[in-house]
Amino acid sequence: MPSNTAASMFGGAGGRGSRASVASLEGLRNVLRNETERDAAPATPAAAAPAPAAPAAPADDKQTLRGLNGRLSDYLDRVRQLEKENGDLEKQIDDILAKRKTPEVRDWDEVEKPLDNLKQKIKDITKDNAKLLLQIDNTKLANDDFKKKLDDEKKAQKELKKDLKDLKKTAEESKQNRMETQKEMELVKEELARLEQEHKEEVDVLREKIKDSEVTVEMESQNSNLAEIVDKIRSQYDNLAKKNLKDTEDWYQNKFENIKVVEAQNNEVLNSGKSELKELHKQAQSLDIKGQGLNSKIHSLEEALRSTKVENDQRLSPLNQRILNLQAQLKEVREQVERHVENNKDLVCVKMKLEAEINNYQRLMQDMTADNESSEFSIEDALDSDQQKPEDKVPKQQ
């Protein structure tokens, strides 16, 4: 039998009928003492066992045997306790494996219900946020359109102001032309009056000269009529004066008519300029009013955009905080699950080690019971034989 094999022991307590292998006694002691060193001293045959030196040796062996039996019973109790603990561990491991195989026992649905509700809320808020962003984009586009329209209206207003300025300039020029024309008309009237006065004076002078003049006419013919000649000359002068007066009146009349036409045209242009100026003033006022309305609308839209952003931030901040808390809780749950898994792995390792130790112990016990009975002897018989030897020697000495 190898030296590292534990000793086998069977029989009643107290050493009655108990047998042990002398060669494996040291190994049995090492096993019962839970010594780390398994290798024992080489076994010696039964014949080489030293004989007891004193009669007290059998009692010591019995005491040792009783102690060994007690320690063996304690060891067996410890084994039964370990088997019980092993059974409990196996039960726990089976429960854990059963829970792993049946994840519905964990009731993840109940755990995920608040998460699903939060996810749905997040989706709804995301949709609302998307709608708000779409409205904001539409508002920005409308704002840009209004700004473009406002810029166009401002450009048109500038053009109208420029045209208005040109019209004012044209009106001033027309007014100046009118004043110049009126001055020319006055000058022409004065010139006409002066010419009429000069003509009248010339006529008067001529009449005076005619009255004062003495005409000496030598008549070759006795039938000449002086009065008729004078009347004829007078009529010629009168006709000439009338003709000159008529020509002058016609010239001035044409001049006055042309001046009136030009004045009418200037008045018409001035009136049209005034009406156009009024219309431009109205358009400028309407554009100013429209621009003010667009500016107020832009300001209101920008204020609505800012308030919407603030409201969204206020609505999303608690949800984001709750999401962070749930993520932290989920992380903690995962860590707990991982710790449970590690603990289960440790329990499985302990179970496997215990099973290996139990199998090793059972194998050792089977090896010990299967030893050849020829290498064993009855400790009780050995003790009895040791007691009989002194009794035989005593009568011989007598």
Q: What is the pLDDT of residues 46-90, one digit of tens each?
A: 333 444 444 445 567 778 878 888 888 888 888 889 888 888 888
188, pLDDT greater than 60: yes
The pLDDT, as a whole number, for residue 358 is: 82
Q: What percent of the chain has pLDDT over 90?
A: 0
The pLDDT, as a whole number, for residue 232 is: 81
One-letter amino acid at 323 equals I
Burial class (CB in 10 A: 0-12, 13-18, 19+), 276: middle
Determine if the pTM surpasses 0.85. Answer: no
* Among candidate residues 1, 4, 20, the one with its CA nearest the CA of residue 12: 20
The pLDDT, as a whole number, for residue 98 is: 78
The pLDDT, as a whole number, for residue 125 is: 86
- Write the pLDDT tens digit of every residue in 11-22: 444 444 444 343
The pLDDT, as a whole number, for residue 17 is: 42
The pLDDT, as a whole number, for residue 58 is: 54
Local confidence band at 33 (pLDDT 50, 70, 90 cut-offs): low
294-326 b/e with 16+ CB inside 10 Å = b?
beeebeebeeebeebeeeeeeeeeeeeeebeee
Q: Which of 98-107, 125-134, 224-233, 327-336 has the lowest mean pLDDT?
A: 98-107
- Write the pLDDT tens digit of every residue in 221-277: 444 567 777 788 878 878 888 888 888 888 878 877 888 888 888 888 888 878 888
The pLDDT, as a whole number, for residue 298 is: 85
Q: Which of 80-94, 186-200, 360-374 has the lowest mean pLDDT?
A: 360-374
The pLDDT, as a whole number, for residue 44 is: 39
The pLDDT, as a whole number, for residue 32 is: 53
The pLDDT, as a whole number, for residue 213 is: 56
The pLDDT, as a whole number, for residue 5 is: 42
* Among candidate residues 249, 244, 250, 246, the one with its CA nearest the CA of residue 199: 244
**Strands ordered across the beta sheet of 377-378:** 9-10, 19-20, 377-378
The pLDDT, as a whole number, for residue 106 is: 57
- The two most distant CA atoms of the chain are separated, in Å, by 254
Q: What percent of the chain has pLDDT over 70?
A: 71
HSE of 325, CA atoms in CB hemisphere, 13 A: 8
Q: What is the mean pLDDT of the chain?
A: 73
119, pLDDT greater than 70: yes
Residues with Cβ within 8 Å of residue 139, at least 6 apart in sequence: 301, 304, 305
127, pLDDT greater than 60: yes
CA distances to 271, 272, 273 from 279, rounded to whole Å, are 12, 10, 10
CA distances to 100, 294, 376 from 5, rounded to whole Å, are 41, 104, 15
Beta strands in 14-155 (DSSP E): 19-20
Q: What is the DSSP string of 215-248?
A: -----SSTT--HHHHHHHHHHHHHHHHHHHHHHH
251-272 b/e with 16+ CB inside 10 Å = b?
ebeeebeebeeebeebeebbee
Tell me which of 114 and 211 has the higher pLDDT: 114
The pLDDT, as a whole number, for residue 4 is: 43
At residue 300's C-alpha, the angle toward residues 296 and 303, to 5°, is 140
At residue 267's C-alpha, the angle toward residues 264 and 268, to 5°, is 85
* Among candidate residues 371, 169, 167, 365, the one with its CA nearest the CA of residue 273: 167
CB 365 within 8 A of CB 8: yes
Rounded Cα distance, 207 and 339, in Å: 150
The pLDDT, as a whole number, for residue 46 is: 38
